[in-house]
Structure 1
Amino acid sequence: MYPLSMRSVFFFSAMLHYMASGKKFRWCTLSDAEQRKCSHLARTLQNVVPPSDPFSRASCVRAHNTQDCLTKIKGNKADAVSLDSGEVYTGLVLYDLAVVAKEERTEGNCVFAVAVARRGTLNIHNLRGTRSCHSGAKWTTGWNIPLGFLLSRNLMYWEEDQPLAKVVSTYFNASCIPGIGVSYPNLCELCQGPKSFVREKNHFCETSSNEPFSNSDGAFRCLQNGGGDVAFMDHLSITNATDSEMNQFELLCPDGSTASLKSYMTCNLGQGPGKAIVTKIPMKRITKRFLSVIQNLFGRNGKHKNRFSLFASEDFGGQNLLFHDSTERLQLLTDDADMTDILGLNYVALLKELGHEGTSLDHSIIRWCCISSAEMRKCEDWALSVRSDPLVCVQATSLSGCIEMIKSNEADAVTLDATHAYIAGMCGLQPAAVEYWGDNSDCPTDPKEFLHELLEKGLPGLYALAITKKSTKAVNLLDLRGRRSCHGSIYSPAGWLLLSRYTVRAPANKTWDCDINSAYENYFWKGCMPGGESGLCKVCVGWEEDGRVNGRCAANHDERYYGNMGALRCLVGDPDGRSYGDVAFLEHHSLQENMEHLQNSGWAHGLNLSDFELLCPNGEKAPLTEWKLCNLGVIPPSIVMTRPVITAKIYEFLVKSQEYLRPNKDSSFQLFRSVQKYAAGDLLFKDSTACLLPTGHYGLEDLLGDSFIELADSVFACTHAGILDFCTSDICMDKKK
């Protein structure tokens, strides 16, 4: 006999108390059809388990709608219910309930949010003024993800202090959004549930199966029979579409195109978690035990599945009753699972931004992510200078750290180089603004139209350069193996991604490692690639304080060899004349300014631009002035990245900053200048930036270009990046990369 653990003792004690109380386990139902199925479950359960079993007596509690279910569970009048994940969040935050299990299908427990319309009638960019059908208010695929998408692409605008429902009521002409309430009647105009002054008989525009247009099946029905032009729903309701439905309807894709109903995996507005089971916190273990019992008896492989099928509903006059009919199993959660384990980081951040905690968008604060003490100083000066929404400066240790903080809702925005922007896109972040690297006089009065014109002919970029000193002999780009190298940072476009095509992934290099980080370590003798490892940190110098070296090889400005100026400083060597690098990889902009700063700081030993030369892809050398002809490729512009819903908020803040802080105004602070005041270049934004342009509905593919995306895809297909491990651990992220 083995001693029981304390957890087991507590559980059996709770079960004994539950049995002694004579209570029935009470499932909350949302329609007459669900009540019938639940009652049949209770009777069958009573017939197949011993009378002594605590679950031999189960009962069904009829609720008016999902909110009534939450109220009943909180008030100890019911014990559990399976809900859409949007209402699961409401149950956790506003009703202090707990999640104990998730419904899982063959492909997982996440669902695609799709927009469906009649063939040839609409695209996702022209929905204003149409009639809309939604699975439910604050539901994942009927409200949260589609509204988040429309807001993130600036197709719908949410003004400060307005209820989101009011914004939706002015955007769509008429709707059926079950559960939305009575404040905006046109949001219920298309619904067809029975109306009555008696609450128990009134199901009009309610999240109940008695409202024929409730849930995803109902939204599709609303589109088919209720006069709707577009339906927002989950993909599960169209997986078994008939040939007639396939011919009559199509999906609206994010890029403005359309696709067949079968293409929901590539044509959707996003993914979100599926349904989950909630209960009171004291009932967590008992509810999990109940779910385990009914699944073992009546699940897909249950002992008595012939007597009752837990995941089938047609015999009871409905669909998806109690649980979704496509559910394969109930995944029981561990006791220590938190909200992000259950719903995912992306989804929790989306719900907060949509006001699911009872507040609208918080327009009062922007949290900008900085990566060094120098950036913090500039950011704090920015906060003191700008006359708009309050700016708060938060600090990470690298750009990857900023991506993680923004995804975790600990920061709001950061400017990222092209490679880090690509990574951020893989992590679910979106562009809010793009740096324009053209002439200041080109900055337009109509930035949206200007960006459209630029994308047609190509955004101006920077050139990636390989620079060496003229005094360094026998060095050429075709054979840098065994050389000492200076890189701006790991993942930098010039010193990491574009460079790979001419070194570790060059056609002549037959032994390159698929993971280019390890390939670089084997290729170069030693060097400084801030954020890297092993030999690529050997010549990094960090910064000194009280005789101690700190931050050596850190991927931020606290490493003195970080960034464009840092790579140049690494190549120049220390003030005593000792050289650390044979070649530096950096961007062509601000070279003269960076050199002058190094001279003034005592690092450059009287060197000037004529003492350096470029290494060209053909193996030859050229003067620094020939960077247009002798380079490693064009670097796409840097991009301000943020969480999807707040893209407009971030850009509006940047517009105000640009207006108040223009160089020709009185402010001594300049948003796009860093070197002279802060002794480091490219702080917060590139110093070559003329202005910031709104990205609007354009995605990273439009801004970065196909060739850059293809190169990044091929590299990250087999190059390990810790930030991507963090991002793809989110429950609904694409695990392919």
Structure 2
Amino acid sequence: MKTVILIVLIIFTLLSSGKKFRWCTLSDLEQRKCAELSKALMAVLPLAVNSFARISCIRAHNTYDCIDKIRVNKADAASLDAGDVYSAVKLYGLTVVAKEVYDQVTGNCVFAVAIAKRGTLDIQRLRGARSCHNGARWTSGWNIPLGFLLARNDLSWDEAQPLSQVISEYFNASCIPGVGVAAPRLCALCQGQKSYVRDKNHFCETSSNEPFYDSEGAFRCLKNGVADVAFLDHLTITSATDSEQQEYELLCPDGTTAELTEYSTCNLGKGPGRGIVTRHNFQKITNKFLSMIQRLFGRKGKERARFELFTSGPFGGKNLLFRDATQHLQLLEDQLEIAYVLGLDYVALLKGLGHEGSSLDNSVVRWCCISDAELRKCEEWALSIKSDPLVCVQATSMTKCIEMIKSSEADAVTLDATHVYIAGRCGLVPVAVECYGGDCVPAAESTEKSGKLIHLKHKALPPVYAVALAKKNTKQINIHNLKGKRSCHSHLYSPGGWLILSRYTVGALKNDTEICDIGSAYQNYFWKGCMPGADGNLCKVCIGDSEVEGARISSRCAAGHNEHYYGNMGALRCLVGNPSGRSFGDVAFLEHSNLLQNIQNLDSSGWAKGYTPIDFELLCPDGTRAAVTEWAGCNLGPIPPSTVMTRPVTVTKIYDFLMKSQESLGSKLDSEFNLFQSWKYGESDLLFKDTTQYLVHASHMSYQDILGVSFFQLAESVFNCTPAGKVKFLIVRYRKMQSRQPSVHSYCRFI
């Protein structure tokens, strides 16, 4: 009783102005529950403060009416879907004070699921179906399903047109409460009361007076036979009856179906659940108020026998005021950024779906560059392309590009195979892969084309091989005696110079108990070298931008072309030495695809005179050596192609942009700008590999498919067990929260 009195005194202090706390409700049933909460609260408080701690229940027409009432100080708080929370914060200036937490496994997150009558439908046959959704711009009924369909290119969205129009053309008819009047077909299946009087019109509204509103309503729409598929959250089907489980099934992303109980493995994605919003100047009061009613009436509340905060059954409905599945409310700190609350992935998705309104930014493609040379090439690309506007943004490395794309500071980048693995683990998806060599042309001619961006199965792509290169006159060096030698690597995490190489160097030391940590193992294995992006002795021979005195120190060992020993050309330069003739390397690890061209460029660029292919040899896995032209039989292993990666929701935009660029700027000899040539900018492989012949359509493939089983398993084993080699993209401002409460949405990090 002392605890209750203490809580009451806190509220008394905060509410001593005489104002009641005003909760916004969306239905008569919520009004009833809210009124009972007010009575219960009055009953447990001392008479002296009854008039200060009562709840006033403010009836609103729909969720946006609630948001507006809170904004203009006619209500104080409401619990909203995460999609509406985002709109309330970004468009109406409100703030989030708490989140509903559902269980220990998913926390505040929900799975977005698609449900259909058993045996009637699969995820690949949704076009033309009748659909019901829990709410417009809601997490599980709109944002995640549409992001899923856009990522698969099932929806083709020209961002000049409203997304609602695209959806209305995709589905035959729908009920999406709250979608508005712009696309009547999206409300065609709704059954709320129609009226010219606003307060009496409930048709297609986000309130319980629309029978098909919320996840319960979307499921009801399906069960009534009105729709063929329903999009809702998993919390609704956890209480499905035996007959419902027999009659309905989940539609899985791979085209299969599953039982309703298998939502954790058969879903379209996961996102944040509901949150409580209020005005900025009312955040502390709301926080204290929520803390009080939770301690009194929550799952472990001292007055739970009098009133249950997270139960709606006694009032004739479900999910009234809060979701019935809520275990507790997680109170948030003041002034948190919305991405901090909802998750970086989810906020990026909402921005991609245009939740902040249409703007020029929606049509702009922002390409990520990792050096000054790439920036120069990108800027010329921007001047040459006649289609969508291109903006070039600069990062310090491929890993930084991944982080920037995730946080919507950039849209696309071409990544090598190891970074494709990292990006895939962080939630980015493929758009296109590079195809190299003469074999691309006949392969391309035998496939279906879409513009110039061809559709080609991964197994048809000509391979790229990782090779180890040494000077011909260093006869004593072979693949088995590299320990203690000076090494040149294209960059940290490179497929051939870091990942595949581990099989032949640190991975070959069977008695070394520390070989799992290949980051540390390389430091001990090689005497010194240059692995741009690394540190310690593997940066000792790097030279930075040797032509710019002021930039030499800052660019030294940088993971980009500002370090002259970066990339395939850089590893070769490192092996032969700097322009003065001083050699820094005994062996170079690079890719075979443009090796002969790079050797030729040593002389034509003035870097090192007199070198020809016969001055070098390849180190073979069996300990022998071979000519540089023998790479097909003397290599360290095949490397999956480099891949253009983006966020799921921007796949179509990047795909269309690349198609137009390749059509006009691909390999035409008479063009002043060529996507796949870099020598005029003083480097090689800028933005794309110079040996690229075509960009191959890949948005229908997963990053695992592109990498292949062998490479993917090697990457998994290395990153899962390499403490020093962990890649962390957790943005600094989110690190504190992430350590406090693990989220289903990882912020690009390996754990």
TM over 0.5: yes
SS of residue in 1 equivalent to 2:644 = strand
Corresponding residue number in structure 1 for 2:67: 70
Instruction: Check if 1:686 corresponds to 2:689.
Output: yes
Instruction: Check if 1:504 corresponds to 2:506.
Output: yes
Instruction: Check if 1:721 corresponds to 2:726.
Output: yes
Q: Report the TM-score when normalising by structure 2.
A: 0.92
How many aligned positions are there? 724
Which whole-Å deviations, capped at 9, do the CAs of 1:75-100 have from their partners, x for residues lacking one?
A: 21111000000001111122211111
Tell me which amino acid in the other structure corresponds to 1:200: D
Between the aligned partners of 1:736 and 1:642, the Cα distance in structure 2 is 19
Between the aligned partners of 1:380 and 1:450, the Cα distance in structure 2 is 22
1:481 Cα deviation after fit:
1.8
1:461 Cα deviation after fit:
2.4
Between the aligned partners of 1:584 and 1:245, the Cα distance in structure 2 is 63
Corresponding residue number in structure 1 for 2:605: 601
SS of residue in 1 equivalent to 2:597 = helix
1:130 Cα deviation after fit:
0.3
Between the aligned partners of 2:119 and 2:551, the Cα distance in structure 1 is 68
Corresponding residue number in structure 2 for 1:109: 108
Between the aligned partners of 2:111 and 2:43, the Cα distance in structure 1 is 39
**Greater alpha carbon shift after TM alignment, 183-192 vs 628-637:** 183-192
Q: 1:117 to 1:605 in 2, by over 3 A?
A: same
Please point out which of 28, 31, 53 is paired with 1:32.
28
Please point out which of 79, 82, 93 is paired with 1:82.
79
Corresponding residue number in structure 1 for 2:433: 434
Q: 1:262 to 1:447 in 2, by over 3 A?
A: farther
Between the aligned partners of 2:453 and 2:657, the Cα distance in structure 1 is 18
Between the aligned partners of 1:150 and 1:213, the Cα distance in structure 2 is 22
Instruction: Check if 1:695 corresponds to 2:718.
Output: no
Identical pairs, percent: 61
Between the aligned partners of 1:120 and 1:529, the Cα distance in structure 2 is 55
Between the aligned partners of 1:547 and 1:184, the Cα distance in structure 2 is 59
Give 1:220-299 correspondences, 5 Å limit.
220-299=219-298
Give 1:559-598 correspondences, 5 Å limit.
559-598=563-602
Which whole-Å deviations, capped at 9, do the CAs of 1:252-290 have from their partners, x for residues lacking one?
A: 222222222222222221111110000111111100010
1:548 Cα deviation after fit:
6.5
1:564 Cα deviation after fit:
0.2
Contact 2:370 2:561 in 1 (8 A): yes
Q: 1:334 to 1:259 in 2, by over 3 A?
A: same
Tell me which amino acid in the other structure corresponds to 1:285: K
Give 1:491-640 correspondences, 5 Å limit.
491-506=493-508, 508-544=510-546, 545-546=548-549, 549-550=552-553, 551-640=555-644
Between the aligned partners of 2:451 and 2:235, the Cα distance in structure 1 is 39
Corresponding residue number in structure 2 for 1:410: 409
Contact 1:116 1:232 in 2 (8 A): yes
1:373 Cα deviation after fit:
0.6
Between the aligned partners of 1:344 and 1:318, the Cα distance in structure 2 is 30
Tell me which amino acid in the other structure corresponds to 2:271: G
Between the aligned partners of 2:428 and 2:572, the Cα distance in structure 1 is 32
1:390 Cα deviation after fit:
1.6
**Greater alpha carbon shift after TM alignment, 379-388 vs 510-519:** 510-519
**Greater alpha carbon shift after TM alignment, 324-333 vs 436-445:** 436-445
1:119 Cα deviation after fit:
2.3
Tell me which amino acid in the other structure corresponds to 2:238: T
SS of residue in 2 equivalent to 1:406 = helix
Between the aligned partners of 1:493 and 1:461, the Cα distance in structure 2 is 13
Between the aligned partners of 1:205 and 1:417, the Cα distance in structure 2 is 47
Corresponding residue number in structure 2 for 1:4: none
1:589 Cα deviation after fit:
1.2
Please point out which of 88, 91, 101 is paired with 2:88.
91
SS of residue in 1 equivalent to 2:308 = coil
Please point out which of 487, 490, 505 is paired with 2:489.
487
Q: Report the TM-score when normalising by structure 1.
A: 0.94
Corresponding residue number in structure 2 for 1:8: none
Which whole-Å deviations, capped at 9, do the CAs of 1:21-77 have from their partners, x for residues lacking one?
A: x11101111112111111111100111122444753112111121111112111211
Between the aligned partners of 2:360 and 2:714, the Cα distance in structure 1 is 37
Which whole-Å deviations, capped at 9, do the CAs of 1:615-659 have from their partners, x for residues lacking one?
A: 122222222111111111111111111111111111111111112
Q: List structure 1 segments (4+ residues) > 4 angstroms apart after TM superposition.
A: 12-17, 52-55, 360-363, 448-453, 726-731, 734-737
Corresponding residue number in structure 2 for 1:649: 653
Corresponding residue number in structure 2 for 1:705: 708
When the two chains are superposed, the root-mean-square deviation of aligned CA atoms in Å is 2.3
Contact 1:400 1:723 in 2 (8 A): no
Between the aligned partners of 1:479 and 1:308, the Cα distance in structure 2 is 75
Which whole-Å deviations, capped at 9, do the CAs of 1:446-478 have from their partners, x for residues lacking one?
A: 336999974264422210001111222432223
Corresponding residue number in structure 1 for 2:323: 324
Q: 1:284 to 1:456 in 2, by over 3 A?
A: closer
Q: 1:17 to 1:577 in 2, by over 3 A?
A: closer
Between the aligned partners of 1:709 and 1:119, the Cα distance in structure 2 is 35
SS of residue in 1 equivalent to 2:552 = strand
Please point out which of 655, 662, 669 is paired with 2:673.
669
Between the aligned partners of 2:552 and 2:218, the Cα distance in structure 1 is 63
Between the aligned partners of 2:360 and 2:462, the Cα distance in structure 1 is 34
1:491 Cα deviation after fit:
0.9
**Greater alpha carbon shift after TM alignment, 478-487 vs 75-84:** 478-487
Contact 2:297 2:304 in 1 (8 A): yes
Between the aligned partners of 1:226 and 1:619, the Cα distance in structure 2 is 69
Contact 1:447 1:694 in 2 (8 A): no
Between the aligned partners of 1:365 and 1:292, the Cα distance in structure 2 is 44
1:555 Cα deviation after fit:
0.2
Between the aligned partners of 1:297 and 1:650, the Cα distance in structure 2 is 52
Between the aligned partners of 1:567 and 1:127, the Cα distance in structure 2 is 50
Corresponding residue number in structure 2 for 1:475: 477
Q: 1:168 to 1:454 in 2, by over 3 A?
A: closer
Q: 1:55 to 1:631 in 2, by over 3 A?
A: farther
Between the aligned partners of 2:70 and 2:698, the Cα distance in structure 1 is 45
Between the aligned partners of 1:568 and 1:665, the Cα distance in structure 2 is 27
Between the aligned partners of 1:192 and 1:398, the Cα distance in structure 2 is 53
Contact 1:160 1:361 in 2 (8 A): no
Contact 1:174 1:186 in 2 (8 A): yes
1:194 Cα deviation after fit:
2.8
Corresponding residue number in structure 2 for 1:7: none
Instruction: Check if 1:56 corresponds to 2:56.
Output: no
Give 1:308-347 correspondences, 5 Å limit.
308-347=307-346
1:706 Cα deviation after fit:
1.8
Contact 1:141 1:272 in 2 (8 A): yes
1:694 Cα deviation after fit:
2.1
SS of residue in 2 equivalent to 1:61 = strand
Gaps of 5+ in 2: 1-8
**Greater alpha carbon shift after TM alignment, 75-84 vs 610-619:** 610-619
Instruction: Check if 1:385 corresponds to 2:390.
Output: no
1:326 Cα deviation after fit:
1.3
**Greater alpha carbon shift after TM alignment, 504-513 vs 714-723:** 504-513
Contact 1:421 1:641 in 2 (8 A): yes
Q: 1:452 to 1:391 in 2, by over 3 A?
A: closer
Contact 2:453 2:662 in 1 (8 A): no
Between the aligned partners of 2:652 and 2:120, the Cα distance in structure 1 is 28
SS of residue in 1 equivalent to 2:68 = helix
Give 1:176-191 correspondences, 5 Å limit.
176-191=175-190
Between the aligned partners of 1:43 and 1:249, the Cα distance in structure 2 is 41
Corresponding residue number in structure 1 for 2:4: none
**Greater alpha carbon shift after TM alignment, 533-542 vs 601-610:** 601-610
Contact 1:363 1:649 in 2 (8 A): no
SS of residue in 2 equivalent to 1:114 = strand
Between the aligned partners of 1:169 and 1:160, the Cα distance in structure 2 is 15
Q: 1:79 to 1:495 in 2, by over 3 A?
A: same
Q: 1:65 to 1:655 in 2, by over 3 A?
A: same
1:521 Cα deviation after fit:
1.1
